[in-house]
Amino acid sequence: MGNTPIQAEFMLEKLSAAKTHFERALDCKHTEFDDLYPYMIEHPQFFWYKRYVAWSELLTIVRLCDELSVEWEPHFTPKQSEYIRNRVMSAKVLDYWFETNDTKEHVG
């Protein structure tokens, strides 16, 4: 299925939003998920679940980009693209998404 410039632009906007959502979840920052389930903040498993939801959203948008032939990989580092292609959110993804934990690449 070919894509139109409007489809590609729309999907890249959704990709950017999903990436930001995942990165904010990794950094334990406020996301829309917090507004949907404010009571979960009190539970330790909340942050794992929040990250899982954001990761699932990112994978879904990437899959749609693939189906529409929208180039998603240039918007990620090579390592991040590899994590996404592997599809499994492991401790490695959580620990090294930003390449190193001491950089200031984290989202604001």
The pTM assigned to this predicted structure is 0.80
Mean pLDDT computed over 67-76: 95
Mean pLDDT computed over 40-60: 85
pLDDT at 105 over 60: no
**Which of 44, 20, 52, 47 is CA-nearest to residue 34?**
47
| Structural domain of 67 | 5-96
**42-57 burial string, b = 16+ CB within 10 Å, else e?**
eeeebeeebbebbbeb
In a domain, residue 27? The reply is yes
The whole-angstrom separation of Cα 34 and Cα 46 is 10
The whole-angstrom separation of Cα 98 and Cα 12 is 20
Number of separate domains in the chain: 1
Residue with the bigger pLDDT between 46 and 104: it is 46
In a domain, residue 101? The reply is no
